[in-house]
Amino acid sequence: MTAVDFDDLTVDEVSRHFGRRRALSHISFRATRGTLLGLLGPNGAGKSTLLAMLATLLRPSAGRIRYGTHDSTTPQPALRASIGVLGHDLFLYPELTAAENLEFFAGLYAVSDPRGAAQRALELAGLTDRADDAVSSFSRGMRQRVALERALIHRPRLLLLDEPFTGLDDASGAALTKRLRELREAGAIVVLATHDLDLADGLLDSAMFLRDGRMVDVVDRPDALRSTYRDIMSRGRASSAAGTRG
Amino acid sequence: MFARVVWLVLRKDLMVEVRSLEIVYTTLFFAVSCVLVFAFALVQEGRPPADGAAGILWISIAFAGTLALGRAFERERQSETLRALLLAPAARPAVYVGKLLGIIALLVAGEIVLVPLVALLFQAPLLLRPIWLAVILVTGTVGFAAVGTLFAAMLVRARSRDVLLPVLLYPITVPVIIAGVRATATLLQPDVDGEILRFWLALLVCFDIVFVTLALWTFEPLMTD
C-alpha cells in the first residue's frame, strides 16, 4: 500500500449531524504545506468532530474534504497512511514499554525497520534511557512526548492534534511548541485544536474560531490570541443573542 | 500486509496479557468457580448427572468467554487505542482477525484448565479422545469468539456495554453452544456414534464459516462513524 501525498487540505462546506443534533455546520477552509492551523473555541464547539472527520474516522453529512487531489473516494488506508493523529487520549498501551508501543505502531503503519524508527522516535522524545520502561510508569508529560512521536512515526503529511498541551508543565509545553515549529518547517500541515491560548500564541499561521459548530471567524497570523479570542467570542455571543431575539 | 497486521495485533494482545495476566486470572477464577458450584449442586453421593459434563463445560466456556471479551475491549477503550488501530492504514478486517485470534488463544488456555477439572469432578472420560475433543472445542470457540469479538468491538463506546454484550451474544451463539454440547456429549458415550459426531462437527464448522465471513464483511462498516 502506497501512502498518498498532497500539498494542501481543503474543507469545503462540511457539515456533520448526529441524529438531529448539528455538531458542525458549513465549515470551509484551506491549509497548505508548512501551515499550522489552530482550531479555537469553547467546549462543544465542534473541534474534535472536525478533527475526527479530517482523520477519516467520521464521514461528513454534507460537503467534502479534499487532500490535495484526493478525496474520500481515495482508498482510505492509503489516505490514513499520510495522516498522524494525537488525540486527547494518548493512544498508548500502558502495559507495553515506550519502545514496544512505538515499534507496534511503526509496524501498523508499514514503516520499514520499525525498530530503528522506534529508536529514532525515542531520541526525538528524549526518552532513550526510558525505552524499556512501561508507559504506565511515565509522567503525563513523558507519555505525551511518546504519543506525539507515535503520531509522527510514519512521517505524516497531515498532523491532527487535539488538546496536545493538556497536563504539560511549562518546559514540556515549550518543547512541544518547538517540535510543532520544526514540523511546520519540514512541510507538514498541522491542525491543532486547543484551549491553551498562551502556548498557542505566536505559534499559529492561521486561527479558526468555532462556536456551536459554526465558523465564527478566521484570523491569519493572529497575535494577542487571548484578547482576539475574547473579542471574537463575545461578538459571536452577541450575534447569537440578536439572532435569537430576531 | 494482512497477515502482518494480524500478527502485530495478536502479538501485542498477548504481550499485554502476559504483562498484566488480568484476563487469564479473572476468566479462570470465574470459570473454575462456575464448575465448582455446578459440581457441588449436581454431584450427589459421588454420582454425577448423566451427560452433565458436556453442558457444564460449555456453559463455563461461554460465561468465561463473555468476561474475556468484555475485558479485552475495555482495555482498548481505556486509552482509546481501538481508535488508534482504526486510524492506522491497515485493513480493518485484519485488526478484527488479530483481536479474534487473541481471544481464541485466551479461551483455549482457559479450556486447558477447565477440561481436566470437569473430567475430574464429573467423572467424565473427556480425555479419552483428546484429538476429537480439541477439534470440537476449537471449532466451538471460534464460532463463539467470532460473534463475540464483533459485538464487543461494536459496543466499546456504548455506556451499558457490559449488559448489552451477553444480551446480544447469547441468542446468536446458542446454536454454537448447543452443537458444542451435543458433539461433546456424543464423544462421552462408551460407543461413539461417528456419524452423529461428524454431523455436529460439520454444523460447528458451518457456523464458524458463516460467523467469521459475516464478521469480516461487517467489521469495517460497523467501525466507521
* ipTM, two decimals: 0.87
C-alpha grid cell for residue B97? 482477525
Instruction: State residue A246's pLDDT score.
Output: 47
Report pLDDT for A74.
Answer: 67
Phi, psi at B90, each rounded to 5°: -90, 150
Question: Looking at the complex, does the CB of residue B79 fall below 8 Å from at least one CB of chain A?
Answer: yes
At A73 the pLDDT is 66
Of A82 and A233, the structure prediction assigns the larger pLDDT to A82
Q: Please tell me the distance in Å from A223's CA to the nearest CA on chain B.
A: 34
pLDDT higher than threshold 80 for residue A43: yes
Q: Exposed, middle or buried: residue A19 (CB in 10 Å: 0-12, 13-18, 19+)? A: exposed
pLDDT at A239: 65
Q: Where are the alpha helices (DSSP H) in chain B?
A: 2-20, 22-42, 52-78, 81-87, 92-121, 130-154, 161-187, 194-223
Count CB-CB contacts under 10 A for residue A222.
Answer: 23
Number of helical (H) and strand (E) elements in chain A, helices listed first? 8, 9
pLDDT of the residue at B224: 73
Nearest to B87 among A1, A78, A85 (CB): A85
> B220: which DSSP letter?
H
d(CA B42, CA B168): 29
CA distance B76 to chain A (A): 8
Range A100-128 average pLDDT: 94
| Number of Cβ within a 10 Å radius of residue B15 | 16
User: Which one is predicted more confidently, A3 or B71?
Assistant: B71
Backbone phi and psi for residue B223, each to the nearest 5 degrees, phi listed first: -90, -5
Which letter does DSSP use for residue B49 in this model? P
Question: Given phi > 0 = left and psi -120 to 50 = alpha, else beta, which region is A185?
Answer: alpha
* pLDDT value of residue A236: 65
Compute the mean pLDDT over every residue in chain A, rounded to the nearest whole number.
Answer: 88
pLDDT at A78: 85
* Spatial separation of the C-alpha atoms in residues B207 and B144, rounded to whole Å: 9
pLDDT digits (tens, 9 = 90+) for B6-64: 999 999 999 999 999 999 999 999 999 999 999 999 988 888 887 789 999 999 999 99
Pick the range with the lowest mean pLDDT from A129-138, B128-137, B173-182, B184-193.
B184-193
CB A53 within 8 A of CB A23: no
In angstroms, rounded to a whole number, what is the distance separating the alpha carbons of residues A233 and A210? 9
d(CA B67, CA B165): 10
Q: Which residues of B touch A76 (CB under 8 A)?
A: 89
Q: Rounded CA gap, B168 and A234, in Å?
A: 48
- Region A118-141 average pLDDT: 93
Q: Is B157 on the interface with A (CB under 8 A)?
A: no
The pLDDT of residue B216 is 94
The per-residue pLDDT for range B134-154, each reduced to its tens digit, is 999 999 999 999 999 999 998
pLDDT band of residue A141 (cuts 50, 70, 90) is confident
The three-state secondary structure class of A59 is: coil
CA A192 – CA A181 distance, rounded (Å): 12
Question: Which of chain A's residues have a Cβ under 8 Å away from the Cβ of B90?
Answer: 77, 108
Residue in B closest to A100 by C-alpha: B12
Mean pLDDT of B155-164: 86
- The more confident residue out of A171 and B225 is A171
Residue B160 has pLDDT above 90, yes or no: no
Q: Distance (Å) from the C-alpha of residue A119 to the closest C-alpha of chain B?
A: 18
pLDDT at A36: 94
Q: Is the CB of residue A65 less than 8 Å from the CB of residue A71?
A: yes
Domain ranges in chain B? Answer: 2-223
Alpha helical stretches, state H, chain A: 47-54, 76-80, 98-108, 114-125, 140-152, 170-185, 197-200, 225-245
Q: What are the residue ranges spanned by the domains of chain A?
A: 96-153
Over range A167-173, report the average pLDDT.
82
CB A230 within 8 A of CB A211: no
